[in-house]
Amino acid sequence: MPNQRSSEIKSHWKRVRLLGCIVTGNMDSVTLHHPRGGSIYERIGTRGAGKKTSDWLVIPLCSQLHILSNWGIDGGKMSVEEWEKAFGRQVEMVDEVGRRLGLNLWEKR
């Protein structure tokens, strides 16, 4: 029998991807980012660089803003703080995803 939590997370991720990039609205090449550092640290702390905070706390980003360019938060060229200054606070993006989906993602984590 499949893990209930696993199927619930997969369903959640599908719904999040369908929102399109939270920054640009682009619907193409949407990937999921597990926010960490920066404003996330201010709200809940974090487990450290490269560690997921929660599978519920994901934001949809176009691949350019996630990993593929000099502007990618996980691309290694910008710090989280620089990225948030340029594109917005991750914590507010998580709030917006939750609002659009009708969920309190902070309680789900």
CATH number at residue 37: 3.30.40.190
pLDDT for 1 equals 40
Residue 29, sorted as left (phi over 0), alpha (psi -120 to 50) or beta, turns out to be left
For the chain, the domain total comes to: 1
The residues, ordered by sequence, that sit 6+ positions from 23 with a Cβ below 8 Å of its Cβ are: 61, 62, 65, 87, 88, 93
Q: What is the pTM of this model?
A: 0.86
Which value, to the nearest 10 degrees, does the dihedral of the CA atoms of residues 95, 100, 102, 107 take?
A: -20
**Model confidence at 3, in pLDDT bands (50, 70, 90)?**
low
Range of the domain at 101: 4-108
Cα–Cα dist 89/83, whole Å: 8
